[in-house]
Amino acid sequence: MPHDFDGSILGQVAHRPWSMPARPWVMTQTWHDLLFAHWPIAAHDLRPKVPSEFELDVHGGSAWLGIVPFQMTNVAPRGVPSIPWISEFPELNVRTYVRVADRPGIYFFSLDAGSALAVHAARTLFNLPYYAATMKAAVERGATQYDSRRNDAGAAAFTATYRPTGSRFNAVPGSLEYFLTERYCLYNLDHRRAPYRLEIHHPPWALQSADAEIARNTMAEANGVTLPGVAPLLHFAKRQDMVGWLPESL
């Protein structure tokens, strides 16, 4: 796939909850055919699994756990063209929501990727909990068929077929959909266990309601979280272009 990153997103800033960083951004990514699958989780169950430096963010009295499969392209440093087999691969995130002061963000329990190089780079540079996995993602007749199995001896796996079912919309500030998706940074601890924030920028999410047949899902259990016995809240997004900055210490 050619490097088709949409640079016009840099001028779309009115929706942001705070200003973009003044320093230069350093990388591009484009995300395709995302499924947001979310479950409410009791805050007291997730709190011990999130570093104490980050406040657990809740909505409607619950913390939320998201499992997000998608395909990535245009994964490259600023000014560098896409490279076949390096700049495009599937990814699968398990995440929850945190904040520091007035800036809400994402905390990742795990990130599985179909690229050993990306896994090594993210672990080395950002101490992010990336794992190499054998992954397949294909779109057929409007439905995404997704399969991921972590390469180590663990049981982290996800197999699903999902599709959009409604018209596109932008989440309304204050809504649950906005809480779950409109976040412009991630939080993590570096190799010295010091907290940092990594800022990102993208346009507002163009969301759709979704259907999913999830045949196998052990991603939460692999991170020590038990999912409740309720159907997940599902949303789909066709594409999102983003830029990211280097982390800043907190």
Phi-psi region of 153 (alpha: psi -120 to 50; beta: other; left: phi over 0): alpha
Token code pair at residue 205:
């999410």
Name 100's bridge partners: 103
Q: pLDDT tens digits, the chain, 250 residues: what are they?
A: 457 899 999 999 999 999 999 999 999 999 999 999 999 999 999 999 999 999 999 999 999 999 999 999 999 999 887 777 688 999 999 999 999 999 999 999 999 999 999 999 999 999 999 999 999 999 999 999 999 999 987 779 999 999 999 999 999 999 999 999 999 999 999 999 999 999 999 999 999 999 999 999 999 999 999 999 999 999 999 999 999 999 999 9
Kindly state the helix (H) or strand (E) to which residue 43 belongs, with its residue range. Answer: helix 43-46
SS3 (DSSP) at 177: helix
Q: Where are the domains of the chain?
A: 26-249
Dist CA 113 CA 131 (whole Å): 6
Dist CA 41 CA 63 (whole Å): 5
Please give the sequence-ordered ranges of beta strands (E in DSSP) within 80-177, or none if there are none.
Answer: 89-100, 103-113, 130-140, 143-150, 157-164
Q: CB 214: neighbour CB atoms within 10 A?
A: 17
Dist CA 57 CA 36 (whole Å): 17
- The pLDDT, as a whole number, for residue 1 is 43
Dist CA 135 CA 159 (whole Å): 10
| Contact by Cβ (8 Å): 187, 195 | yes
- The pLDDT, as a whole number, for residue 99 is 98
Q: CB 219: neighbour CB atoms within 10 A?
A: 26
Length of the chain measured in residues: 250
- The pLDDT, as a whole number, for residue 82 is 76
Tokens 């795990």 appear where?
A: 110
In Å, how far are 35, 178, 180, 209, 242 from 44, measured between CA atoms? Answer: 26, 23, 19, 29, 33
Token code pair at residue 243:
């830029």
- The pLDDT, as a whole number, for residue 3 is 73
Dist CA 227 CA 221 (whole Å): 8
- The pLDDT, as a whole number, for residue 17 is 97
Look up the pTM and report it. Answer: 0.95
- The pLDDT, as a whole number, for residue 65 is 98
Kindly state the helix (H) or strand (E) to which residue 18 belongs, with its residue range. Answer: none
Domain range 26-249, CATH architecture: Beta Barrel (2.40)
